[in-house]
Structure 1
């Protein structure tokens, strides 16, 4: 299978579905990461907290830690990726060229405006695609008034360490998100999702739509 993971920023897919993507690669599937921004950012006072160049280096290293080598990093504004025709068309072109069987993107009721824009743009671009999943928002961007509904679970016990290793590549994000508290929080979420299905670690996804194939099966 060919899998496309779309994220607003360099770190989004590692946090939310890194274990799943690593497991897909271990099982012989192709994975492409489409990142919509170079992901440098300023704080609310306008002070630079992360340079674009640093974000791209760290993010590329993080995706490599998962086994992903097919990476496109675009140059939309980090904080303001709107749901509009240019963004939709850019994702649509990528999908036409890559022709994925499965698409992962942000939950449309995330609380980060760029995540919401990318989610809605991906939904629009994927209008002719049959299998689309939303990955789970994680605090601080996940506290929406519309809850994430875990419907699809992937056992990631075999790849949890790759997921955590990929997060540690984001050295400039480490202190921003709470240092080891960040790592513990992500790790614990995977433990909780695993507990829900009787496994040690898992990632959960909400289903927009899914095509069942009795030849290939549903699970990665």
Structure 2
């Protein structure tokens, strides 16, 4: 994993699910990129959420600096909750993958319940089909009949501090009910216990090249 791209529907998705892993790959000499597909604008009175594009973009930039990630400017960004599969958008992402010689792609879980996440997964699975490694992540806690059950884990005990600091860059509205970030770290602890460490991030591989 020398040239890695993590693709999120919203600006904080990658930081929540893959931040520690990307930071580790960066520290080990790899080159990590992040691409966000929507403007993240969300307004919900019921959930008390008010997220704007400018603030989200600024927060993402600050978080990427902490994690050692290069953020790719999206010239085709779409409105939040309006993301759908299109051949044009898929090929745009495919070109980014080829232009940056990406060998590993992290994408959304394909059985998520967030509509943007589902669309992002569908688009990115096709766009990254020629990559060596494709790994799915979950950045929320929704349950359904196909629950997220990772089988590949990255030990991030040495990166958890940077991950926590990166999420501090985001405004309160990103931290759903002031619980999302803490729940994420608790899940990282649980996954860490699976592999005998303190913190880990978990993924479902679509394909993964491993050399003995």
TM-score by length of 2: 0.92
Give me the whole-angstrom Cα distance separating, in 2, the residues matched to 1:194 and 1:153.
8
Over residues 90-118 of structure 1, what are the superposed CA-to-partner deviations in whole Å (9 max), with x where a residue is unaligned?
21111111121111010000110111101
Q: What SS does the aligned partner of 1:72 have?
A: coil
Displaced runs of 4 or more, over 4 A:
none
CA contact (8 A) 1:66 1:166 kept: yes
Q: Could you tell me which runs of 5 or more consecutive residues in structure 2 were left unpaired when the two chains were aligned.
A: none
Among residues 200, 203, 210, which one is paired with 2:201 in the alignment?
A: 203
Report the counterpart of residue 80 of structure 1 in structure 2.
82
The change in CA–CA distance for 1:62 and 1:173 in structure 2 (over 3 A counts) is farther
Aligned to 2:100: 98
User: TM-score scaled to structure 1, two decimals?
Assistant: 0.88
Q: How many residues align?
A: 209
* Deviation for aligned residue 1:87: 2.0
| 8 Å contact kept, 2:50–2:173 | no
How much has 1:183 moved relative to structure 2? 2.7
Q: Does 1:213 align with 2:211?
A: yes
Match of 2:176 in 1: 177
Contact 2:61 2:71 in 1 (8 A): no
**Distance in 2 between residues matched to 1:168 and 1:48, nearest whole Å:** 17
Which 5+ residue runs of structure 1 have no aligned equivalent? 215-220
Q: CA deviation at 1:41?
A: 1.7
Measured on the aligned residues, the alpha-carbon RMSD in Å equals 1.8
Where does 1:1-220 land on structure 2 (aligned, <5 Å)? Answer: 1-43=2-44, 49-73=50-74, 74-139=76-141, 142-174=142-174, 177-179=176-178, 181-214=179-212
